[in-house]
């Protein structure tokens, strides 16, 4: 059985560009995880001066890391793919709709639903919720995820 700790350990990101705090649930159909946007993140200093707000591109990245990459790692491990922890990841398409702002120190929950996973391409529907369970953003993200090649 694949643990969420194993998935988190294989993520190819680190602070300040890691937007996954915890995976709540993952299975063949989707993934759910959370992240708290800490007020000391560097992009808040200039986006916007008087009332910082999380940029849409960062919200999209959080959705991609939790909803696409964590799910993709789970699916690769479920197929008994072996790899040395090096992944080849590339986003191939994204379409997002932004409905609410996200502010510093806000915790969000991302829920993804697999559309398909074949030939190393994963496509998911994603939704991000704020602490009031309101949808922050939603959309479709697709990307390629496969084990890295050995040198």
Domain residue spans of the chain: 4-147
* 47 in catalytic set: yes
Residue pair 120/68 in contact by the 8 Å Cβ criterion:
no
pTM over 0.85: yes
Strand partners, 111: 32, 127
CA separation for the pair 37, 146 (Å, rounded): 28
Q: What is 4-147's CATH number, 3.40.50.720, 3.30.43.10, 2.40.30.10, 3.10.129.10? A: 3.10.129.10
Name the catalytic one among 2, 34, 47, 87: 47
Q: Give 147's pLDDT tier (boundaries 50, 70, 90).
A: confident
End-to-end CA distance of the chain: 29
Q: What percent of the chain has pLDDT over 70?
A: 95
Residue pair 89/144 in contact by the 8 Å Cβ criterion:
yes
| Residue whose C-alpha is closest to residue 98's, from 43, 55, 52, 44 | 55
């Amino acid at each position: 059985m694949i643990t969420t700790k194993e998935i988190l350990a294989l993520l190819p990101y680190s602070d300040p560009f890691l937007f996954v705090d915890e995976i709540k649930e993952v299975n063949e159909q989707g993934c759910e995880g959370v992240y708290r946007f800490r007020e000391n993140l560097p992009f808040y200093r200039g986006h916007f001066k008087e009332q910082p707000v999380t940029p849409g591109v960062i919200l999209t990245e959080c959705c991609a890391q939790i909803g696409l990459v964590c799910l993709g790692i789970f699916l690769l491990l479920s197929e008994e793919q072996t790899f040395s922890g090096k992944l080849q990841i590339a986003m191939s398409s994204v379409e997002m709709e932004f409905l609410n702002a996200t502010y510093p120190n806000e915790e969000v929950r991302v829920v993804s639903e697999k559309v398909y996973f074949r030939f190393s391409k994963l496509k998911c529907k994603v939704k991000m919720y704020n602490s009031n369970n309101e949808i922050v953003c939603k959309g479709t993200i697709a990307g390629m995820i496969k084990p890295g090649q050995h040198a």
